[in-house]
A and B are shown apart, each in its own frame.
Chain A
Amino acid sequence: MSINLRRALLPALGLFAVVASAPAFAAGGEITIPKQSWSFQGPLGTYDRAALQRGFQIYKEVCSACHAMSLVSYRNLTALGFSDAEVKAIAASVEVQDKEPNDQGEYVMRPGRAADHFKSPFANEQASRAANNGAYPPDLSLITKARVGGADYVYALLTGYKPAPAGMTMPDGMNYNEYFLGHLIGMAAPLSDGAVTYADNTPTTVPQLAKDVTTFLTWAAEPEMEQRKRLGVKVVLFLLLMTGVIFAWKRKVWKDLH
Chain B
Amino acid sequence: MRFARFAARRLAEMAATLLAASFVIFGAMYLAPGDPASFLLSGRSATPDAIKAINEQYHLNDPFAVQYLRWLGQVLQGDFGRSIEYRTSVSNLLAARLPTTLLLVAMALVLVMAAGLALGWIGAVRGGATDSTILVTTTVAVGTPSFVAAVLLQGLFAVKLHWFPSGGTGTGLLDTLWHLTLPAVALALYLIGMLARVTRSAMLEALGHEHVTVARSRGVPERSVILRHVFRNSLGTVLTMGGLIVSTLLICTVLVESAFSVDGIGQLLDLSTTTKDFPVVQAVSLIIVGLFMTVNLAVDLLHPLVDPRVTLGERRSAA
Task: State yes or no: do A and B come from one complex.
Answer: no
